[in-house]
Amino acid sequence: MPWACHWLGIAETKLHNRLYRKLKIKYFLLKNYIIYIVMSILNYKDAKGKPAALIAMTSLNRNEFEKLCIYFCDAWNAKIESEGRDPSGCGRKPRLTTMEDKLFFIL
């Protein structure tokens, strides 16, 4: 009968079930921790203080990124003006608020 329990996915003993839940919780916590580490550096403000991370994520150093941001800002504003968007604030607020964050996300 043990093979039937295994085939049906039923835990044979309370110990096995408890161990499975314990491992599942540890995996869940580990998974969330890794996601938190990755998500914590997804804006330019955090990345500019870490030159190695900035180069790894954008292939640009801080000076190059800031020079490119000037041109990106001009191009972004020209595109918004050409579309005729009303800057009064209708619609939802943007999640990427600064131009540096927008460029960082694109790169």
**Domain range list for the chain:** 1-40, 42-107
- Could you tell me the pTM of the whole model? 0.58
What confidence tens digit (pLDDT) does each residue in 47-80 have?
A: 888 888 888 888 999 999 999 999 999 999 998 8
Q: What is the DSSP string of 23-59?
A: HHHHHHHHHHHHHHHHHTT-SHHHHTT-HHHHHHHHS
